[in-house]
Structure 1
Amino acid sequence: MGACGVSEKARRGAWRLALVMWACLVAACLVAACLAWAPLARAAASDVPVPVAVAPGVYAMLGNGDAVAPANRGIVANNGFIVGTRGVTVIDTGTSYRYGRAMIEAIRKITPLPIELVIITHQAPEFVFGASAFRDRDVPILAQRRTAELIRERCAICLKNLQRTLGDDEMGGSRVTVPDRTVEDTTQIDSGGRALQLLYFGPASTPGDLAVLDTSTGVLFAGGLVSAGRIPELRNEQIPGWLAALDRVRALAPHAIVPGFGPVVKDDAALTATGDYLRQLDAAVRRAYANGTGLTDAMRTVQVPDFRSYKLYAAAQPQNVQRLYLQLEKQ
Structure 2
Amino acid sequence: MEYTRGLHPLTEHCHAWLVPDGTWGWSNAGLITGAGESLLVDTLFDLAMTREMLDGLTPVTGDHPIRTVVNTHANGDHWFGNELVADASIIASAPTTREMLANGPELIRSLIAGEGALGRFAGHIFAPFDFSNITPTPATRSFDDELTLDVGGTEVRLLNLGPAHTAGDSVVFVPGERVLYAGDLLFIGGTPISWAGPISNWVAACDRMLGLEPEFVVPGHGPVVGTEGIHQVRDYLTWVQDEAKQRFDRGLSPEDAVRDIDLGRFASLDEHGRIAQNVLAVYYELDPGREREDTREVFRRIAELEGFTE
TM, length-normalised to structure 1: 0.76
Which of 105, 108, 116 matches 2:58?
A: 108
Change (3 A) 1:66 1:261: closer
Contact between 2:76 and 2:103, CA under 8 Å: does it hold in 1? no
Change (3 A) 1:162 1:116: farther
| Residues 1-331 of structure 1 mapped to structure 2, 5 A cutoff | 49-68=5-24, 74=25, 76-112=26-62, 113-135=64-86, 138-161=87-110, 165=123, 166=126, 170-266=130-226, 268-313=227-272, 315-331=273-289
- RMSD of equivalent CA atoms: 2.2
Contact between 2:255 and 2:276, CA under 8 Å: does it hold in 1? no
- Secondary structure (helix, strand or coil) at the match of 1:198 reads strand
Unaligned segments of structure 2, at least 5 residues = 114-122, 290-310
In structure 2, C-alpha distance between the alignment counterparts of 1:326 and 1:218, rounded to whole Å: 35
Contact between 2:5 and 2:20, CA under 8 Å: does it hold in 1? no
Contact between 1:121 and 1:209, CA under 8 Å: does it hold in 2? yes
**AA at the equivalent of 1:77:** S
In structure 2, C-alpha distance between the alignment counterparts of 1:297 and 1:169, rounded to whole Å: 34
Contact between 1:97 and 1:172, CA under 8 Å: does it hold in 2? no
The alpha-carbon deviation at position 175 of structure 1 amounts to 2.6
In structure 1, C-alpha distance between the alignment counterparts of 2:128 and 2:7, rounded to whole Å: 27
Contact between 2:105 and 2:131, CA under 8 Å: does it hold in 1? no
Deviation readout 1:74-98 (Å, 9 max, x if unpaired): 4x11112112211111001110122
Deviation readout 1:191-224 (Å, 9 max, x if unpaired): 2442101112342322211111112211010112
State the number of aligned residues.
Answer: 274
Aligned identity (percent) is 27
**AA at the equivalent of 1:294:** S
In structure 1, C-alpha distance between the alignment counterparts of 2:268 and 2:131, rounded to whole Å: 31
In structure 2, C-alpha distance between the alignment counterparts of 1:118 and 1:251, rounded to whole Å: 25
The alpha-carbon deviation at position 163 of structure 1 amounts to 7.0
- Secondary structure (helix, strand or coil) at the match of 2:189 reads coil
Change (3 A) 1:66 1:57: closer
Deviation readout 1:240-275 (Å, 9 max, x if unpaired): 111111111111101211011111112x21111111
Contact between 1:141 and 1:180, CA under 8 Å: does it hold in 2? yes
- Secondary structure (helix, strand or coil) at the match of 1:226 reads strand
The alpha-carbon deviation at position 329 of structure 1 amounts to 4.0
Change (3 A) 1:102 1:161: farther
The alpha-carbon deviation at position 63 of structure 1 amounts to 2.1
In structure 2, C-alpha distance between the alignment counterparts of 1:235 and 1:310, rounded to whole Å: 18
- Secondary structure (helix, strand or coil) at the match of 2:69 reads strand
The alpha-carbon deviation at position 129 of structure 1 amounts to 0.5
Say which structure is richer in helix.
1
Contact between 2:159 and 2:170, CA under 8 Å: does it hold in 1? yes
In structure 1, C-alpha distance between the alignment counterparts of 2:277 and 2:163, rounded to whole Å: 20
In structure 2, C-alpha distance between the alignment counterparts of 1:61 and 1:168, rounded to whole Å: 19
In structure 1, C-alpha distance between the alignment counterparts of 2:112 and 2:46, rounded to whole Å: 10
**AA at the equivalent of 1:286:** K
Change (3 A) 1:242 1:167: closer
Contact between 2:197 and 2:281, CA under 8 Å: does it hold in 1? no
Which residue number corresponds to residue 292 of structure 2?
none
The alpha-carbon deviation at position 276 of structure 1 amounts to 1.0
Larger Rg: 1
The alpha-carbon deviation at position 156 of structure 1 amounts to 4.5
In structure 1, C-alpha distance between the alignment counterparts of 2:41 and 2:135, rounded to whole Å: 18
The alpha-carbon deviation at position 308 of structure 1 amounts to 0.9
Change (3 A) 1:106 1:289: same
Contact between 1:148 and 1:179, CA under 8 Å: does it hold in 2? yes
In structure 1, C-alpha distance between the alignment counterparts of 2:222 and 2:129, rounded to whole Å: 27
**AA at the equivalent of 1:119:** V
